[in-house]
Amino acid sequence: MGISERKQRQLEEVRATILKQSWQIVEEEGWEALSIRKIADAIEYSTPVVYKHFESKDAILEAFSREGYDRLANQLATAKASQASPDKQLEAISAAYWRFAQEHPKHYQIMYGLGIPTCQMVRDIPEIRQVSDLLHTAIDEAIKSGKNPDVDGHLKAKTFWSILHGLVAMTMISAPGGPEMARRTLDDAVQGFIKALLN
Please report the domains of the chain, with CATH numbers, ordered by start residue. 3-55 (1.10.10.60), 66-198 (1.10.357.10)
C-beta separation of 194 from 168 below 8 A: no
Query: What does the pLDDT look like over 26-81, one tens digit per residue?
Result: 888 887 888 999 999 999 999 999 999 999 988 998 899 999 999 999 999 999 99
What pLDDT, on a 0 to 100 scale, did the predictor assign at position 109? 83
Task: Please write down the long-range contacts of 107-110, taking CB distance under 8 Å and 24 or more positions apart.
Answer: 107/64, 107/65, 107/67, 107/68, 107/71, 108/68, 108/168, 108/172, 109/31, 109/172, 110/31, 110/61, 110/64, 110/65, 110/68
pTM over 0.85: no
Q: Are 97 and 72 in contact (CB under 8 A)?
A: yes
In this prediction, residue 106 has a pLDDT band, given cuts at 50, 70 and 90, of: confident
